[in-house]
Amino acid sequence: MPIYEYKAYAPGGATKSGIVDADTERDARNKLRKDKLLVHKIGEVRGRGAKRKKKKGEKTEEGLMARTMDARAARQGPGAKQNEIICGSTRQLATLLGSGIPLVESLSALVDQSEKRVVETMFRQIREDIQTGLSLSDALARHPGWFSELYVNMVSAGQATGNLDVVLKRLADYMQLQRGLRSKVVGALTYPMMMLGIGFIVVTILMAKVVPEITAMLIDQGKALPPATKILVMISKVFQEYWWVLFSAIAIASTIIERFYKNSDKGRLAIDKSLLRIPVLGELLRKAAVGRFTRTLATLLQSGVPVIQSLDITRKVVGNRVVADATEHIKDRVVEGTDISTPLKASGAFPSVVGYMVAVGEQSGELEEMLDRIAGAYDEEIDVVTERFTALLEPIMIVFLAGIVGFIVYAIVQPILEIGRV
């Protein structure tokens, strides 16, 4: 059933806009007329054949947003805000289906309670696709800006096994845990970056504005400046005259590193290897990648996704090229007929305890449960490493910034004291 976007006048003269589904534009106008709305503009957002349309050259906001999200998802996957929306909707859908409500009616409930227009439109489109004969997984696959490959495959497995509500609940739990893990890692890395950024800005202001005025007075005295003060004057001139070069160099270097990381396989591997070698930080990143590997693989296997496909999906979400390459190697070996634990131990990307626990899980037939336990243990270890990383970095940053400020103060005060002795 097509979806129409409208602008109309409500009783009293107030304007109202929204979307409505109907077979034809005339039916849409009749529906709105029954709601006592006088239609001013109306246009089809999405018609039959899964094509977005516009009326008289007008681009709808929902169509533009959906196309933007799908294009971005092809490059980097759904964003954090979209994941949050989908996580809540997934849990609600699981609850509705678990209560015995049919799928189409459950989707109608999601449509009615959607707060954002683009979300409402997306669920309307999914409901329409299901009504025309598509499965839920196929309908979700048409919206890669919202639903990842992992999500679609788990829903497909849930439909095949008849446990869709259970799989959806497991998906919601997985997304919530992954969001928490991402927040821990990002939070641990944000603090030092903020400290460095603020420190750099403060030092730049001191060197470009404050120090030149003070050193100018010292130079006017006609006395020979101490070596520390000469160094400070030289650095101050660089900041004063070429501060824009420093900021531009930092911006250009950041852009080059980012593009090198995203577009070059060798570059990503080299950067990820280097990050893993950094004390404490490398341990944090490795534990986060291993925790994501075990949690994702456990969730996929528990939902009935085949092991080869599960490993392939897991490789794409671990977030570290070293662990991703190891996962690809494990998948290739499993295709040849070996178990998971043997290539996992030999890869060197995983701690030895993970390999032994996976081997025990395979031998006992409880691999999914064992992977889930490993993920839980690593979540706790990440908390400990995050606290240690922050506790270690804070005094280092304070000493570093204090050293810079101390040198500036010393270089300014020393000639002043010498002048006072004369």
User: Residues 159, 136: contact at Cβ < 8 Å?
Assistant: yes
What pLDDT is attached to residue 236?
A: 81
pLDDT above 80 (res 189): no
> For residue 50, what pLDDT band results from cuts at 50, 70 and 90?
very low
Main-chain dihedrals φ then ψ at residue 419, nearest 5 degrees:
-65, -35
> Which residues, 6+ apart, have CB-to-CB distance to 335 below 8 Å?
308
Residues near 227 by Cβ (< 8 Å), separated by ≥ 6? Answer: none
Hey, CA dihedral for 153, 154, 158, 161, is it positive or negative? positive
pLDDT tens-digit profile of 239-265? 777 767 777 887 887 777 777 666 666
Amino acid at 39: V
Predicted local distance difference test score (pLDDT) of residue 13: 63
Long-range contacts of 23-32 (CB under 8 A, 24+ apart): 28/4, 32/6, 32/8
420: pLDDT confidence band, cut at 50, 70 and 90? low
Q: 54 or 289: whose pLDDT is higher?
A: 289
**Whole-angstrom distance, CA of residue 63 vs CA of residue 157:** 30
Query: Over the stretch 326-346, which tens digit does the pLDDT of each residue have?
Result: 999 999 999 988 889 899 988
Burial of 393 (0-12, 13-18, 19+ CB in 10 A): middle
Q: pLDDT (tens digit, 9 = 90+) per residue, 141-186?
A: 888 888 888 888 888 888 887 788 888 898 888 888 888 877 877 8
Please, which pLDDT band fits residue 67 given cuts at 50, 70 and 90? very low
Q: Higher model confidence: residue 118 or residue 67?
A: 118
In whole angstroms, give the CA distance from residue 66 to residue 276.
Answer: 37
Angle between helices 149-161 and 164-205 (to 10 degrees): 170
Q: Residue type for 85, please?
A: I
Q: Extract the tokens encoding 270.
A: 């080299």
Lowest mean pLDDT among 223-227, 284-288, 364-368: 223-227
pLDDT at res. 422: 52
Structure tokens at 180: 């928490």
Closest CA to 310 of 330, 325, 286: 330
pLDDT, greater one: 412 or 40: 412
Q: Where are the alpha helices (DSSP H) in 77-134?
A: 80-98, 103-113, 117-131
Please, which pLDDT band fits residue 318 given cuts at 50, 70 and 90? confident
Q: At what angle do helices 321-336 and 307-317 cross, to 10 degrees?
A: 170
- pLDDT tens per residue, range 70-108: 544 444 445 567 778 888 888 888 898 888 888 888 888
Is the predicted pLDDT of residue 61 greater than 60, yes or no?
no
pLDDT digits (tens, 9 = 90+) for 355-390: 899 999 989 888 888 998 998 888 888 888 888 877
* Ordered structural domains, the chain, with CATH: 3-59 (3.10.20), 77-176 (1.20.81.30), 180-422 (1.20.81.30)
Query: In the predicted model, is pLDDT for residue 40 greater than 70?
Result: no
Q: Which amino acid is at 54?
A: K
**At residue 121, does pLDDT exceed 70?**
yes
Q: Which helix (H) or strand (E) holds 7?
A: strand 3-9
pTM, two decimal places: 0.65
Give buried/exposed letters for 11-40 (b at 16+ CB in 10 A, else e). Answer: eeeeeeeebbbbeebeebbeebeeeebebe
